[in-house]
Structures are given as C-alpha cells and as structure tokens.
Chains A and B, each alone.
Chain A
C-alpha cells in the first residue's frame, strides 16, 4: 500500500474509534455533561488529562523549538510539567472536596460574590478562546499536510469531529475519547523516537540514547552536537542563551499558569474521591512525562540529522524529503553565493517567512525564493515544526509510521480543542446562565444550553482557525500569564488563607490581570520595537511577566484583606470543610 492510502486508513480508523466512543458514552444529565458523572477512574483520568494537556504545540512544535534553542528549551519542559506538582498538592484535592462543576463556581462561592464569579468567567472564556484558536489552526495544518486537502477544509473536518463528541458526549464523551487519543498520540510519538534512537545511538530508549554515544564511535551525541553547532556559528547546544532571570520567570509563569488553566483543573472534578484526585494528578504527570522526556531526545537527534544532512551538501544530491518539505513551504534555500551547495549557519537567510515564485525553479532546480536576502552567509530556512513531522521521513522509516504520526498529531490537536470548548460551554451554560442570569432554569434546559454553547464555541473557534488572527502565536503567552496572575493566587488563598475575603480576592485578581495584560499588550502590540531585554522590567520578557503579575496579586490581596472586614463565619467553615477529605461524594446533579 502506498503512504497516502495508509494515512487515510489510520486517520479514518482513529476517527471511527472516537465517534464510536462518543456514541457509547453520551451524556444524559448535566452532571454527566460537566464532570462525566464524577465517576472516572484515576488512571483513565490521568490519561485524559495528558491528552487534554498535550496540544498540537506539545506534539508537533515543542521538540522543534528545543532543537533550535538547546538548553533554553528547558523552560517548556520544566514549566509545563512542574505545574502538576502544584496542582496535585495545592489545588486538586481541595477543589475535588469542594465538589462542584467549574472554577468560576469555586471562586464565586468561596468569595461569596457575583462580581468575583463574573471576573472568573471572563478569564475562563478569554484564556480558553486564545488557546483553542491555535489548536484549530493546528488541526488544519496537519490535515493539509497529510490528507492533501487545503487548510480550510482541514479545519472544517476537524470542527465536524469535535462537534460530534463534545456536543453529544460532554465531559463524559470527551473523557473516554481523550483516553483513546492519548494512546494514539503516545504510540505515534514513541515509535519514530525509538527507531531513530536505535539508528543514531543504538539504544532503544530515547531518554538514555540522548546521553549515549553515536553508533560505531566513542563520541557522545551531545558533544558531537556542541561541536557541530559551534563550527557553524550557533550557540553550544547544552549552553543557554537566555538570561538566568528570564529563564526563572518564564519557567515560573508556565508552571503556575499550567496549574491555573481551567481546562486542566476541571479534570480533577471528575474522579470519585479526594484521594483519587491526588492520585490522578500523579498519573497525569507520569503519562505526560513519557512524551516530555522523549521530546528533548528527539530534538537532539533531529538536530544532528539535519546538520549532517544539509550542511555543505549539494542541493541536487539531497534526499527526497528535502524536496517534499520544500514544496510544503517549510524548507527554503536561497543560493546566495551560487555554488549549488547549501551553507547552513547561524542567522536568518532572508527576512520573514519564505515566499516563492510560484513553482518556478532556479539553477540547481530549487524553488525560487523571492524574499530579500540578508547579508550573512546562511542560505537555509527551516521551519521548526518539521523537526517532528519530517523526522520519520528523514530517518527513512516505513510508511505506516508516517501514517501513525498523522493520526497522532490530529489526536493531540483535537483532544485539547475539545477540552477547551467544553470549558467554554460550561462557563456559559452553568456559570453565566444557571448561576447568574437565569437561576430557575431546569436541568433539561441547562443541558440544552450547554450543547448550544458548545456548538457556538466550535463555530467561533473554527472561524479563528480559518482566519487566524496574526497574533495567535503571541497570545499563547497571554493564556499562561493570565491564568498565573488571576486564578492560581485566588484559588490558593481561598484554600490556604481562611481570612481572605472577597474584597482582597477581587482586588488581587483585577490588579494581577491588568498588570499582566498591559505589559504584554505594550510589548507585543503597541510598541513591538521596544521588546528587548534593555526595556523589560528587571529583564523579564512578556512570556515571563505572569510571575510578577501573580506576586502583585498576592500582595494586593493581602493588603486589601487586612483593611477590610474578614469573611463571614460560614465561609470560614467552608474552608475548614474542604481541607479534610472525608465526605466527598459524587457531585450532585442539582444544587
């Protein structure tokens, strides 16, 4: 069978599986719809959380980024996993004991205030839409590369699939679909990684091969990589180029942001007991760690492969994959010195993304790039995303591995999109309608409203996928910064500081949010030219500013709480109650 048939077969089979699961586990009540009835086994919940959390960015882009920045990639590796320690110990068990459906619900009740609830709803919707727009685009890109449809049709197919299991199945449908998606994506990631590790280092475990020697020599892989990088004028792979302050703040913002993201938190409402919430955070991180410890290994293998294959190679002698990714616009070569060989060195070959002169071919039969050349010696443009997507081809793996990658990339993007869409629909139907605007709505109508909201959210997300706002890549920093500076402190103080009152919490959330928002807007949109370390506050980049926003939130909340009356007696009892595990039943459908 040829590759294309295999891809259709794999992608088709996984989609049939997801839809089958959605029909089997469709939601019958609001409790099913919001928290899967509260009866998910902690291991299943761990897998679902893993799929929910690992997005197209984790699956496709992360290893590629690490591959180009070397040690600095640690901000993502540590930042996106370390947050689970905070979640498991500081938030998950207590929120599970609280036993309701959503994050704004906790904030609204703990701070006995509709205003606090509304601030939380706005944050949830903003954070989730920011995030989901990127996912839908990811779905479109993966489809267009593998199914040979255009990106827009890819987005539409993705919307149809998500519509099916998110609208029909709610949290219950999503949970079990995500379990399947986790399995698909981890197989898809690990199989090429294991193959390539065997080829390059002779060790089948990528995590170990990474620190091993190259097959048939005594040179360590990382030493080889450092040597190659320096020869070509790049930074040493194992040395960082970001400042220590910035590394610290970005890592912290990503960790705390992870712990504060609503679609992750809500997954811990779905297990039966408090002890299960703790356990399932452990399983979630274990399942995530399988991919996250493989990613830096894949990054270094891909880097060695790329440098060795393309550097000083004659264009016409290059393997076939170079041309297919050049055709996809993710590789581009501009022969500045006209010697027919590829010079790959540090620096940009030309300004911006490549634009091609149609299908026209140059002297060596390369696609002609029309961008203005820069004055350094580098001739090669490499899109970071190909480091993962092209890896199986570069290593000449069999066709079914490539088909598996396609299915895995789609599973990663679809599972995260579905989780986010559900959070959006829940905030609208439950927090906004049921708890705020129309408290008398009955369960059946609420369920219907949730389904309508999910359908509407899918349409909006699809619109962003088809017409991506130019700022999608930049606004992901928003999602984490805002989660870090608003939710995390409010929830943490709600549990650990009995005397925190509504005035303090609202003042803290608002000041953290406004500060973080303003800082990012200023450097990303108002004055992007000034976005350099000299102009940053204490050398903190916009990606890391959420950490400062969080600290501001804590300080403001504490000061305001000291100057205003303490929370009422029954709230202090509520806090005492969520601190002990006994008495956490399944959340009741009607409350």
Chain B
C-alpha cells in the first residue's frame, strides 16, 4: 500500500471543460499544504507511486513540515 501524503485530498475541479460541464468529471488531486490542485506528475509523489515518497521527494510537503529544502530543481513540461 503506497504511503499517501497527509496533505492530499481529492476534489472536484471547477471548470472541468471549456463548456464548464463538470458533471462527469472525476475528482483530482488537491494539496492542502499548497492550497491548489497539483500537476499529474506531482500526484505520483503524493500517492507514493514508482518508489516516490512525499517525505523526501516533495518540496511542498517539506516546506509545510519545516524540513530542510535540500537540492532544488524545477522542470518544465513535455515529458
């Protein structure tokens, strides 16, 4: 069972489509520490997928917990 981030919850995203029709939309990952919906790749960290761990790999969690930042890096899109 993956170790899920305690700040993670799933919420409905407003304005799911261009038409605003969110009737069929699935809830998606929301970070209560950052107070925003998280990117797809960040949700893998929150959910502990692929060997990722929010305690070591998520700068948002670490900042919220007052842990040292460690190495910083920022990527773009297009994976």
* A, B in one complex: no
- Interface residue ranges, A against B (CB under 8 Å): none
- Interface residue ranges, B against A (CB under 8 Å): none
